[in-house]
Amino acid sequence: MDNKHTGDFICARRKELNLSQKDLAEKLNVTDKAVSKWETGRSAPNISILEPLAEVLGVTVAELLKGEKAKNESLNNTSNEIIVEIIKKSKKSFFTGIVSVLLLLTIILCSYYSYRFFYSVNPNDIEQIIEAADFSSIDGDENMEIIKSARKGEYYCFLMKKEGSNEVHLRYFSPDKIFEERIICWGGTSADISELGVYCFGMNCLNVNAIFGYNIEQNEYRYSYKGVTCVKPIEDDGIVLDLLIDYDNTFSHVSFIYE
């Protein structure tokens, strides 16, 4: 329906019937301002008033909506009822569609939040952490244990070893963005026992370096950063788990900072 075209049609029919805007308004129990808005196209008649308005103007609802008289007389009051019913059903369908979309979005959001919650773990629950570390590719997590953990900034690192294995495994976690008291495993790597391993992660995989190892026999290791070489002692147990964080994002490659 073109409001302006329909408005012109209402105005023309009203004048043909020698009715003022006030006269038409009184017959429909509306204000003359409402009639004025219809005729100027600033608003359209409500669905509930289409039939009474068409009847007062001596036209069909179809003619009213079209904004002109029909060329034949085949449209009658029955067609009015059908058209109004179609409009009502369309209106109901629209709102039903909106409700359906909102319901679908709610289901999606609930599913997403549920997924994030169950995908994240309690940072103090050892069993959950080992399970989240996902060792399915190396015969599962049976007999896997956490031998050392470290936290620096928002990063959590866990050094894990499986009984009888010749490898030691590193996994890193960070807080979930939705459930901030829970953490999510984002990745990790492995190294042979008695060898130091290095894993880069964080922004652009450059600003955090984890140096790790198990059963390391040497007494120390060195790393260089911004031209300064540091020496890190290795404790008697031979377990290493250090996090080196570059808050300025100037690491260019791990080989430049680790010796």
pLDDT digits (tens, 9 = 90+) for 75-111: 455 455 555 655 665 555 556 667 777 777 777 777 7
**pLDDT value at position 84?**
60
What is the reported pLDDT for 254?
Answer: 45
Assigned token pair, 31: 């204000």
Q: Are residues 88 and 170 in the same domain?
A: no
**Among 59, 86, 83, which residue's Cα sits nearest to residue 73?**
59
Which of 40, 69, 92 is the last residue before a domain boundary? 92
Would you say the pTM of this structure is higher than 0.75? Answer: no
**What are the b/e assignments for 163-172, b being 16+ CB within 10 Å?**
eebebbbbbb
Burial of 148 (0-12, 13-18, 19+ CB in 10 A): middle
Instruction: Show the low-confidence residues of the chain (pLDDT under 50).
Output: 74-75, 78, 252-259
Q: Which of 206, 55, 184 is nearest to 116 (CA)?
A: 184
Are 23 and 68 in a shared domain?
yes
In a domain, 121, yes or no: no
Alpha-carbon span 246 to 97, nearest angstrom = 51
What's the pLDDT score for residue 186? 87
Q: Does residue 137 share a domain with residue 88?
A: no
Q: Which domain holds residue 227?
A: 126-256
Residues 154, 58 share a domain: no
- Per-residue pLDDT at 147: 93
Residue 117's closest CA among 177, 188, 186?
Answer: 177
Which is it for strands 144-152 and 228-233: parallel, antiparallel or unpaired? unpaired
Give the pLDDT of residue 92: 59
**Is 87 in the same domain as 130?**
no
| Structural domain count, the chain | 2
Question: Are 207 and 251 contacting, i.e. CB atoms less than 8 angstroms apart?
Answer: yes
Considering the domain architecture, whether residues 235 and 188 belong to the same structural domain is answered as: yes
**From residue 209, how far is each of 72, 82, 257 by CA, in Å?**
84, 73, 9
The answer as to whether 106 is a domain residue is no
CA angle at residue 214 from 212 to 216, to 5 degrees? Answer: 95
Per-residue model confidence (pLDDT) at position 88 = 60
We report the CATH number of the domain holding residue 85 as: 1.10.260.40
CA distances from residue 194 to 10, 128, 167, 211, 235 in whole angstroms, order as listed: 92, 27, 9, 13, 13
One domain, residues 241 and 155: yes
